[in-house]
Chains A and B, each alone.
Chain A
Amino acid sequence: EPEVTQTPSHQVTQMGQEVILRCVPISNHLYFYWYRQILGQKVEFLVSFYNNEISEKSEIFDDQFSVERPDGSNFTLKIRSTKLEDSAMYFCASSTQGVGTDTQYFGPGTRLTVL
């Protein structure tokens, strides 16, 4: 069964450094998402992406964050200058349609630790 994959599984970085989290969505999916989950808290929406554009973003997704689909398979989340509070699990998800009835398939996550 097709799966969303994410790399790396764990990323440790120093505060102020840039990080890029990578995702390979399911191949025939057109809609892509990033969510994050701070330890012990709920899964929070960051951004949705379709047709090489951001469809929607949350208040969390400020100028320090950016997303890109650099080629036909990868979908990346970049954090320009990491803060301690960026430490969280980051989940990529994809779906065939961007509607609320569509199933979103989540990757296993990248644990980001900012020191």
Chain B
Amino acid sequence: SQKIEQNSEALNIQEGKTATLTCNYTNYSPAYLQWYRQDPGRGPVFLLLIRENEKEKRKERLKVTFDTTLKQSLFHITASQPADSATYLCALAASWGKLQFGAGTQVVVTP
């Protein structure tokens, strides 16, 4: 069956450092992968999409890589700030429009 795995342990990081999150998947051959942010009690908010032919994608302090050989995506938050504290979700389109989410990794940025 298709699986998406993200680090279940919270990532505690000091302000200004880079947070790196991992998303691994099995039994998928995705053409693209998405990352979302979720704050407690709120809906997911889209951050970035990366296609299989893109090795890297950036948006402001965010960077995503996609390695289809390793079946892995890395999500980086550079110069992290306390406002970046949230849960970050990896998502794959399991079929037409249907998103399958990983469990998410909680990031806690301390001043």
**Could you list which residues of chain A lie within 8 angstroms of chain B, going by C-beta atoms?**
4, 31, 33, 35, 41-45, 48, 55-56, 58, 89, 91, 93, 95, 97-109, 111
Contact = CB atoms under 8 A, between A and B. Distances in A.
Interface of B: 30-32, 38, 41-46, 49, 51, 89, 92-104
Contacts, number: 74
Given A89-B41, A101-B32, A42 B46 contact: no
A41 B89 CA distance: 12
A42 B41 contact: no
A4 B99 CA distance: 17
The list of the 6 closest CB pairs from A to B, nearest first, reads A100-B93, A106-B43, A98-B97, A43-B101, A42-B103, A103-B46
A104 B46 contact: yes
B99 A55 contact: no
Most buried by B among A58, A89, A101, A105: A101
Given A56-B95, A56-B96, A98-B97, A42 B104 contact: yes
B99 to A, nearest CB: 6
Contact of B99 (A45, A89, A109): A45
